[in-house]
Amino acid sequence: MKFNVIVAPSNANNKGIIYSSSNKKVATVTSSGLIKGIKEGTAIIIARAKDSSKKAVKLIVKVKKPPINFYTKISKDEFNEPKNIKTYVDALNKYFESCGAVINPNMVGSSQWCVVTTTTFNNNISIYDRYVSTIGMWTWRRSQDEVDNGFEWKNLKPGKSLENFLQLLDDYSFYNSGKYNPKKILDSNWNGWKQFCQYDNTDDIVNIYVYPVKAQDMNAYTVYMYWGTNAGLKLKGIPLVKE
């Protein structure tokens, strides 16, 4: 916004104005009167005449936090606000449903299925970052389960199947020193979960079932996913994080 000041009389010899802010940590002002909010709070913007009169006018500026969107860096407390949790959960639901998941939000009371524990996240991370990390962690847990079971639990065959699986493990979980690959995790053309499902029971289409499990301590939540060939069959559960 701009602090527009009219100098009178119109034929004044010196129409120069000096702008200043009482609190530059809250709001700053340029030499032309453009005001920029820095953080939440109140500041007084002063416009003072350059001539000997030193006359001045004041403008009280109240800076509010901008609305939080999918990419805004937020704190743990902000993330736990119901509206932000809903944005996060809705995005995850949409993704897993695109993979063929059957979402069951009613297994534990009326709780939403995926409120992830904030103990695994730092402050100043966006809902989008948490969303990608959650999907990446799911993919990693799934692939780790395959590795821990010697590639036998899902009937993986030697040779090309093993090579393909190792490529999936690299593409959809961790890469480049532990960072996620958001494009391949989220892009419908590189849907990690759909690719993983191709290895389940070979000839059958596998449904994914997602259920919530609430931890008893620290008000934390752990998410479990189950998959199987029969409706409602819970073959395996993988915790999103170890409590």
For the entire predicted model, the pTM comes to 0.54
Check residue 198 and give its pLDDT: 53
33-82 per-position pLDDT tens digit:
999 999 999 999 999 998 888 889 999 999 998 888 999 988 878 887 87
Quote the CA–CA distance of 154 and 35 in Å, as a whole number.
Answer: 61
For residues 188 and 175, the model is more confident at 188
Mean pLDDT, rounded, for 202-208: 41
Cβ burial of 151 (10 Å; 0-12, 13-18, 19+) is: middle
Q: What is the mean pLDDT of residues 212-241?
A: 38
Per residue in 82-133, pLDDT (tens digit) is: 788 778 777 877 777 776 665 554 443 333 344 444 445 567 888 888 887 7
CA distances from residue 106 to 25, 61, 112 in whole angstroms, order as listed: 47, 47, 7
